[in-house]
Amino acid sequence: MFVRKNLVDLTGCGTNTGYVIDFIKICFNTQLLNLDEICRFYLKEGLSASQIAAHFGVSKSVIIGCVNRLKIGTKSAKGRMTNPNNFRHHNPPFGYKVKDNKLVLNGAELKICRAVVELIGREKRGVRETARELEERAFKTRRGRAKWGHFVVQQIFNRWKDKL
């Protein structure tokens, strides 16, 4: 249902300005929404409330209300934004990039990941020594800096040690 938002005539302000009339879609009865489909989108496909709302043409808060009413929100909240098939976090893990909301491997960063796994895992070097070695080899961080922190190197190693 569309509700017309009437704007006040402001001709008394001294200007003769035209105003745009806006239409807002309002869903008065959320019972008309298919709860089984919302549940499938949310649990099986891992879509966010915003994505489901766009599909149904309602607001995000309506979908959140339906999810809360179904009591499925707290069960499946862990890992929702980091789902590799529907990645919605602002910063992908090192070694990946986001393409069409999916995590795909980043070849340039994988070279650095391989070097980290080689130095720490196989050559048994320390994390700080590995960070210095990356700086000496002129590997750049994602932000284009030549300075590597030991914490970032440790995170890269922990993520990639069993995969490379």
Per-residue pLDDT of 88-117, as tens digits, reads: 788 899 999 999 888 999 999 999 999 999
Please tell me the predicted confidence (pLDDT) of residue 50: 85
Residue 2, pLDDT above cutoff 50: no
* pLDDT of res. 55: 87
Query: pLDDT value at position 18?
Result: 59
pLDDT of residue 69: 85
> Is the pLDDT at 52 greater than 60, yes or no?
yes
Above 70 in pLDDT, residue 80? no
Side-chain half-sphere of 81: how many Cα atoms within 13 Å? 7
- Closest C-alpha to 112, from 98, 99, 93: 93
- In percent, the amount of the chain with pLDDT more than 90 equals 41
pLDDT at 157: 96
CA angle, residues 151, 155, 157, in degrees to nearest 5: 115
